[in-house]
Each structure stands twice: as C-alpha cells, then as structure tokens.
Amino acid sequence: MRVLFCGDIVGRSGRDAVLREVPRLREKLGLDFVVVNGENAAAGFGITAKICAELHGAGVDVITGGNHSWDQKEVMAHIAQDKRLLRPINFPPGTPGWGANVFDAPKRQKVLVINVMCRLFMDALDDPFRALDGELAKHRLKGTADFILVDVHGEATSEKQSIGHFLDGRVSAVIGTHSHIPTADAWVLPGGTAYQTDAGMCGDYDSVIGMKKEIAVQRFIRKIPGERLAPAEGEGTLCGVLIESDDATGLARSIQPVRLGGKLPATVIGAP
C-alpha cells in the first residue's frame, strides 16, 4: 500500500496547501489512503465539521487530533458521530469520539488508524503505552488490518521514539505530530515499522510554528499578555511522509519525507 500522512494543519494556509496538493498527489503517486492531523485547522485552534467536510472532499480519508481537539465547541457533537475524525485514544473513558478505527481502502484492504497523545510536557492523560497495547490486542497486521498507522501527538522526542521502538514490528508506521517542525529521521526501524519523530506542519513556515511571528516573538520579549496568537497567512507548505508497505506482511518497505509549496525546499518524491 501507499499511504500519505500529513502533519498538523495550521489555519487557512495549511488547509489551502492540503486542499491544493492532496488531490494531485493521490493521482500522481497512486495513493491508497491519506491521513492528516487537523487539530489546528480552524484558525490555529481545533477543527469544525465544515473543515472536516472540505478535507474529506479533497481526498483525505481520516483526520487525527491532539491536545487542541476540543477547542471548537461545535466539534463535541460532530466527533461523536464522525468515525473519520479521531481524537487521542488515551483520553479517559467516556470521552466523545473514537481514538482508533478500521477503514476501508482500495483492493478490499483495511487500514487501522490509531491516534495517541504523549504525556511529557502535555496534558495528563492515561498511559499511552497501555492504551496502544490494548488496541493492538484486538488487531494485528495481515489479520484484521493490512496497514496500521499510529499518529503520536507529543512534545518530547524521547517519548515519541520510545513509542516507535515499543511498536516496532507490530504496526506499519509510527509518525509524530505536535511540534510543527519536520524532523530529519525518517527511516524504517529494524522490525519493519516506518518512523519519523515529527512530520511537521501544513502551514506558513514564515512564522513561529504556524502563528504570526511578530505576535509570537513579542510574547517572549515582553512576558506579559498581549495580542491573541493568530495563524500566519502566507503560502503554506504541505509537510508529511509517504509510506509504502509490503502487501504480504503489512510492514514498511520505505518512508519518504514530503514537502511541497511555501518556504521550505521541496522534496523529490517517487512515482509509483
């Protein structure tokens, strides 16, 4: 399978980059499945039902979340009924929505997407390792799923790497989100799981992690409350990874960084 995962969408610039590039990439790369993290898609804070519909209409199969999943009040009702919009699986029992689901892909294949949030420097949630173990007790590669993707939403690189090694050989890919900065460590772990510590964001990189740089910089200089942070509005870069798996095992054959448009140098990504 060929699966595209795109990092955190930040504001309109990020949405425009995804809406512009995903339809083209689906055709050019022969993609079987597309997942994006959308927790900052609505003006940098949360996501709405309308934005979900726009992303699905552009060819996004599943949208994952994180610590900003609940920033838009209307999402509470929507996430309770939209199985294609995930939130971290390790929120306490009774939280609306789903942290993992199995989805249909072409050629009668199945894709399991799991969204989990780390705990170091983040909100105090349930143990992500235990939550992942619990979900994977119900699923296995080439059993209930042909491809298993885990979005690890977290601040600490050490925690993300630990989860990658913890899941190595059990899932197709472990990809980090949340820091909005793409890391240069895309590789296939020894057990066959594709890994990158952070996919980066889809948004304007002439910014401070997607927000207008002037406002963000002044917050550090003055150390007093000021103007509300707002997304930068320049041309967005789509940042993500392209993962190709072995249909016989469900494990990864390769992982390539994807960067298109905006300020960052573009990557050269292979054709089918």
CB-CB neighbours of 143 under 10 Å: 10
Q: What is the percentage of the chain residues whose pLDDT exceeds 70?
A: 99
115-147 pLDDT tens trace: 999 999 998 899 999 999 999 999 999 999 999
C-alpha span between 251 and 142 (Å, rounded)? 9
The reported pLDDT for the residue numbered 242 is 98
Q: In what order do the strands lie in the sheet with 252-260?
A: 62-64, 33-37, 2-6, 238-245, 252-260
C-alpha span between 251 and 169 (Å, rounded)? 7
According to DSSP, the residues that pair with 148 across neighbouring strands are 112
Task: Answer for the pair 57, 49: CB distance below 8 angstroms, yes or no.
Answer: no
Task: Answer for the pair 57, 25: CB distance below 8 angstroms, yes or no.
Answer: no
Q: 63 by DSSP, 3-state: which?
A: strand
The reported pLDDT for the residue numbered 92 is 94
C-alpha span between 66 and 55 (Å, rounded)? 17
60-77 pLDDT tens trace: 999 999 999 988 988 988
Q: Which residues contact 13 (CB under 8 A, 6 or more apart)?
A: 203, 204, 210, 231, 232, 233, 234, 235, 236, 262
Is the model's pTM score more than 0.85? Answer: yes
Which residues are tagged catalytic?
68
Structural domains in the chain, sorted by start: 2-260 (3.60.21.10)
What totals of helices (H) and strands (E) does the chain contain, helices first?
Answer: 6, 11
The reported pLDDT for the residue numbered 154 is 97
